[in-house]
Structure 1
Amino acid sequence: MNYFWMTVILLVTGASAVKIDVSVMEGDSVTLHTDVTKTQDNKVQWYYNGVRIARITGDPSKTCTDVQCNEDTERFRDRLHLDHQTGSLTIMNITNTDSGEYKLQIIITGSSSSDKIFNVTIHVLFCFSPDVITDRVTVTEGDSVTIYTNVTTTQQEEILWYFNDIRIAVITGDLSRICTDVQCNEDTERFRDRLNLENQTGSLTITDINTADTGLYQLKIFSSSSISEKTFSVTVLDVPDKVKTISAKKGESVTFDPGVTQNTNVVMMWYFNDSLITEITGDQSKICSDVQCKERFRDRLKLDHQTGSLIITNTRTTDSGEYKLQIISHILQSSVSVTSLKTFIFTVIDSGQSSAAVAGICVGVVLLFVTAAVGVIYYRKRLQAGQNNITAQPSYQGSARGN
């Protein structure tokens, strides 16, 4: 995305006036403050490049803005607003043609006047076709992504972030203006409190990213003398459920395999029920650095440095719980970092028997049921046969007596 930046500052004459520099983006509203409370005896007048554009006095009939004050000043077209309590001037929907010198004159009856001069600079962005993409990154849904500015902000700088040409974040070097998402633009509520700006650098973090966040993220850094820009293409992939369920019998070993390859630009941290138990940073690793962890696992944890897999030997029922792997990857010459999370729900079964013994017991139980069933069938047949003999015997005896 190519942009052209325009800055207009007019020089100010007059040694007695207080001079203030103001920098805004085209389309914004800006308020020039008088820093006083107006009284009936005060007259507040505003001039733009020497032409009066607003006036407020104790007499409401003499209050005016734009063409009401001067027939030649219709340039603002109802975009000026005066605060009746302070006389402060607000310019709405500012354009690049509004750049210049705004002079405030406060006249106090029976006393001298005081002046302030505001040098207003308008930053104008002209958008063309997206020709240049600085970096491309692919992440998975649910990750957190940080895009770094690789600068430290100064008092004069202003950093802006855009998503598909819509402004989503702004921060100034003096922290006088910070906004994200809907605070910057009423039409950008899509991120819903998932954006975070780093105050020292202006780096942008998108948490819990989803497929709808796929697109171009544009970084603009304005200073008093230059503008720099970067465009990041972010693709978010929809992946299967990141939660796996694993079980093992007491005494067996289990391996939690994240399915990744570890490298020097990746930090991996394993947590058990939200307590850190292992960490891999480059070719260095730590296992159970605190006493509680050492007591629980007692040298039963191992790490695969190639894959980041966690191995637990001689498992116990107390090992059951939630194991989380946090992976922080620094990519694109450390311009972007991606934080992803994988979860394993682990259950240790206390059967008291080996797998072979359990299988043998199962076969024995089946044979017992078969034998019992055969016995019941045989018993029922014998019982039925005996009943038939008893029923038939009286009939035979009766026939014999008849003979």
Structure 2
Amino acid sequence: MFDLFVLFCLCWCCLMGVFSESVSVMEGDTVTLNTDVTEIPEDDDIVWTFRDDQSLIGEITRAAGIFNTSDDVPDERFRDRLKLDRQTGSLTITNITTQHTGEYKLEISGAELTSKTFSVSVYAPLPTPVITRDCSSSSSSSSSSSFSSQQNCSLLCSVVNVGHVTLSWYKGNSLLSSISVSDLSISLSLPLEVEYQEKNSYSCVINNPITNQTTHLNI
């Protein structure tokens, strides 16, 4: 019974023209949300809204000659950033920032209703990780009364003002440890304890779904 219900929902979405798309961009980029039509039919209306409160950010009614973008979102985050293609109805956001992360909904109404949702993720540029180290030597003796000196190092990789990232330690190409956060604008640190051995290469990497930054350390 449940399988039949799921099948019914999928068929209904297809018949009603309900689609979704995920978009990931870097802060400062220009992104275009495409309607996937080559030309808006004369009798069709297009409405663009933003997030759950359905703030109106664009509309086209060709029959009435209406081609508008709206900056009336309360915090004015879209001021001077929106462009509507008069032929296709596609929406372009220029100089995008993390404030524009969220869900954009397109509705095309006419002979049939088409709805498309864009889930837009905007990522800030990543800082270069900073590695600090504190090394100390310790002596140990064996049963033969010989002494050896061993150097231990405490490494700390740090980044500031980051969000939605993963911070990782690598030895060569091998992952040693990592931590992921979804918060915005926080400071993040990842410690690592190592023993000194000649010609060992360690790397601290910060990454998001789009890009990464790496700092290397040879000890």
Q: What is the TM-score normalised by the length of structure 2?
A: 0.51
Pick closer, same or farther for the CA change 1:25–1:66 going to 2, 3 Å: same
Retained in 2: the 8 A contact 1:27–1:94?
yes
Gaps of 5+ in 2: 1-8, 133-171, 175-203
Q: Give the drift of 1:232.
A: 5.5
In structure 1, list runs of 5 or more residues that go unmatched.
1-13, 134-148, 152-217, 234-331, 333-403
1:220 shift after superposition: 5.8
8 Å CA contact retained: 2:126, 2:213: no
For 1:26 and 1:71, the matched residues in 2 are separated by 20
Tell me what 1:112 maps to: 112
CA contact (8 A) 1:66 1:74 kept: no
State the secondary structure of the residue aligned to 1:75.
coil
Provide the residue aligned with 1:79 in structure 2.
Answer: 81
Would the alpha carbon gap of residues 71 and 18 (structure 1) be closer, same or farther in structure 2, given more than 3 Å must change?
Answer: closer
How well do the aligned residues superpose, as a CA RMSD in angstroms? 3.4
2:22 is matched with which residue?
21
- How many Å separate the matches in 2 of 1:62 and 1:73? 24
Q: Which residue of 2 aligns with 1:230?
A: 214
Q: Which has the higher helix share?
A: 1
| TM-aligned CA deviation for residue 127 of structure 1 | 3.6
Which residue of the partner structure matches residue 395 of structure 1?
Answer: none
* Match runs of 1:3-402 below 5 Å: 16=13, 17-36=18-37, 37-49=39-51, 50-59=54-63, 61-67=65-71, 70=72, 72=74, 74-108=76-110, 111-125=111-125, 127=127, 131-132=130-131, 221-223=207-209, 229-231=213-215
Equivalent pairs counted in the alignment come to: 133
Shift in CA distance, 78/61, structure 1 to aligned 2, threshold 3 Å: farther
| Cα deviation code 1:83-113 (max 9, x no counterpart) | 11100000000010100000000011xx231
Amino acid at match of 1:28: D
Higher strand share: 2
Q: Which amino acid aligns with 1:223?
A: P
TM-score (norm 1): 0.29
Task: Give the partner amino acid of 1:125.
Answer: P
CA distance in 1, matches of 2:70, 2:127: 31
Residues 26 and 95 in structure 1, CA contact (< 8 A), matched pair in contact too: yes
1:75 and 1:60 map into 2 onto residues whose CA distance is 28
Cα distance in structure 2, aligned partners of 1:57 and 1:47? 15
SS in 2 for 1:76: coil
Matched residues in 2 for 1:60 and 1:92: separation?
Answer: 27
Q: Which structure ranks higher in relative contact order (CA pairs < 8 Å, sequence separation ≥ 6)?
A: 2
